[in-house]
Amino acid sequence: MSVKKALKRKISGLEDGPSETQTSVKKARKKTINKDPDGQTSEDIVKEFLKLTGVKQTRLKGLKQFVATIKNADNKDEIILKYLQTHPDCSEMFEVLKESPEERSLFEVQIVLEILEVIVLHLADEDARTKSRAAVIVSTLLTNHRKLVYHCLNSASPANATMAVLRLLTAIVMHGPALARELLIAFDFSHKTFGALVNRRDKKDVVDVRTCFIKFVLSFFVTGDQTLIQQVLQIKGFATSILKNLHKDSAEVIHLVLSTLFAKVHCY
pLDDT digits (tens, 9 = 90+) for 34-55: 455 567 899 999 999 999 999 9
212 within domain boundaries: yes
- Examine the pLDDT at 124 and tell me if it is beyond 90: no
CATH of the domain at 98: 1.25.10.10
Domain that holds residue 139: 3-30+88-265
Say what the pTM is.
0.86
171 within domain boundaries: yes
Give per-residue pLDDT as tens, 50-95. Answer: 999 999 999 999 999 999 999 998 889 999 999 999 899 998 899 9
Q: What is the predicted pLDDT for the residue at 38?
A: 61
Measured between alpha carbons, how far is 79 from 81 in angstroms, rounded to an integer? 5
Q: What is the predicted pLDDT for the residue at 205?
A: 82
Q: What is the predicted pLDDT for the residue at 233?
A: 94
189 within domain boundaries: yes
Q: What is the predicted pLDDT for the residue at 33?
A: 39
What is the chain's Cα-based Rg? Answer: 18
Q: What is the predicted pLDDT for the residue at 187?
A: 96
247 within domain boundaries: yes
Measured between alpha carbons, how far is 94 from 183 in angstroms, rounded to an integer? 18
Q: What is the predicted pLDDT for the residue at 17?
A: 44
43 within domain boundaries: no
Task: List Cα–Cα distances, 197 to 62, 190, 202, 210, 222, in angstroms.
Answer: 31, 12, 12, 6, 20
Alpha carbon 201 to chain centroid, angstroms: 19
Q: Give how many domains the chain has, as a whole number.
A: 1
Give per-residue pLDDT as tens, 7-32. Answer: 566 666 544 543 333 333 334 333 33
Q: What is the predicted pLDDT for the residue at 206?
A: 81
Give per-residue pLDDT as tens, 112-123. Answer: 999 999 999 988
Q: What is the predicted pLDDT for the residue at 7?
A: 59
Q: What is the predicted pLDDT for the residue at 92?
A: 87
68 within domain boundaries: no
Give per-residue pLDDT as tens, 132-191. Answer: 888 999 999 999 999 999 999 999 999 999 999 999 999 999 988 999 999 999 999 999
Q: What is the predicted pLDDT for the residue at 30?
A: 37
72 within domain boundaries: no
- Computed over every residue of the chain, the mean pLDDT equals 85
Measured between alpha carbons, how far is 174 from 168 in angstroms, rounded to an integer? 10
With residue 95 as reference, give the H or E element that holds it. helix 91-98
What DSSP state is assigned to residue 100?
A: -
101 within domain boundaries: yes
Measured between alpha carbons, how far is 238 from 203 in angstroms, rounded to an integer? 23
- Under 8 Å between Cβ of 239 and 217: yes
